[in-house]
Amino acid sequence: MKIHPLIAQAKEKMEKSISVVKNELGHIRTGRASASLLDDVKMDYYGTPTPISQVASITVSEARTLTVKPWDRTLLPHIEKAILASNLGLTPVNDGTIVRLNFPSPTTEQRKNLVKKVKEIVEEGKIAVRNVRRDIIKLVKEEKDASTITEDEEKILEEELQKLTDEYVRKLDLIFSEKEKETMEF
C-alpha cells in the first residue's frame, strides 16, 4: 500500500522531534563522560569563537573521564579556560599534552533533578509529536472539505496518524526510561 504524502510528512516531522529530544538529552550531564557535552563549548581561536571539537580530539577514556587532545599544544590553556568558563561544573586537568576532565558522581538529589529535567525534555518532545498530528489532521480535513478525499479516506488517514503518534510517543517513553536508568545507575 502506498503511503499518503500527509502521513509521510507527519512521519518526517515526528522523526525530527525525536532527534531534537535526543540532541538535548545528549547535553545533560549524568555523571558518565560524554564527548557531546563539549559540543557547545567554544574557545578563542585567533580571535574567533571556535568549538573545541574543531581544534582537538575528544575521547572518553574511562566511564567518568573525558580526554581532550589538541592538535596544537599551544591551545591547551585556551581549552582549559573555555571549559572553566562553560559552567559545566568540571575542573580541567592540564598535563602538558592533554586536558583531562573527571566527572564526579552526582548526588542522589542531583540525579533526581536530572531525571526531572529529562522528563521535561521528553514531554516537550511528546507535545511536538502531538502538535504534528493536530496539524496534519487539520490538513486532512481541508482536503476532505475540498473534496480531494472521501470521508472513508479521511477516517483511514486519521487512524494511521493516531497509530503513528502512538508509535512515536512509545519511542519517547523508551528514550526517557533509558536516560533515567543511565542517570540513576551511577
Predicted confidence (pLDDT) per residue in 8-56, tens digit: 999 999 999 999 999 888 877 666 777 777 888 888 888 888 888 888 8
Q: What is the predicted pLDDT for the residue at 87?
A: 76
* Matching residue, cell 476532505: 144
- If you ran DSSP here, which 8-state letter would residue 69 be given? E
**167 and 111 within one domain:** yes
Overall domain count for the chain? 2
**157 and 139 within one domain:** yes
Q: 161 is written with which cell numbers?
A: 496518524
Domain final position from 45, 67, 102? 102
**180 and 116 within one domain:** yes
Q: Which amino acid is at 83?
A: I
Residue-wise pLDDT for 81-124, tens only, equals 888 888 777 788 888 889 898 887 778 888 888 899 999 999 99
Domain final position from 102, 128, 157? 102
Hey, which residues does 68 pair with through a beta bridge?
58, 99
> Taking the model in full, what pTM does it have?
0.71
**141 and 73 within one domain:** no
* Of 134, 123, 118, 121, nearest in space to 169 by CA: 123
**74 and 14 within one domain:** no
Residue-wise pLDDT for 151-181, tens only, equals 898 899 999 999 999 999 999 999 999 888 8
Q: What is the predicted pLDDT for the residue at 148?
A: 87
Full residue range of the structural domain in which residue 20 is found: 5-27+107-185
Q: What is the CA radius of gyration of the chain?
A: 22
**86 and 19 within one domain:** no
CATH classification at residue 152? 1.10.132.20
Checking if the pLDDT of 145 tops 80, the result is yes
Number of residues in the chain: 186
Domain final position from 84, 102, 120? 102
**140 and 124 within one domain:** yes
**154 and 93 within one domain:** no
**131 and 146 within one domain:** yes
Mean pLDDT of 68-80: 89
Checking if the pLDDT of 186 tops 70, the result is no
- In terms of DSSP H, where are the helices of the chain? 5-26, 76-85, 108-145, 151-185
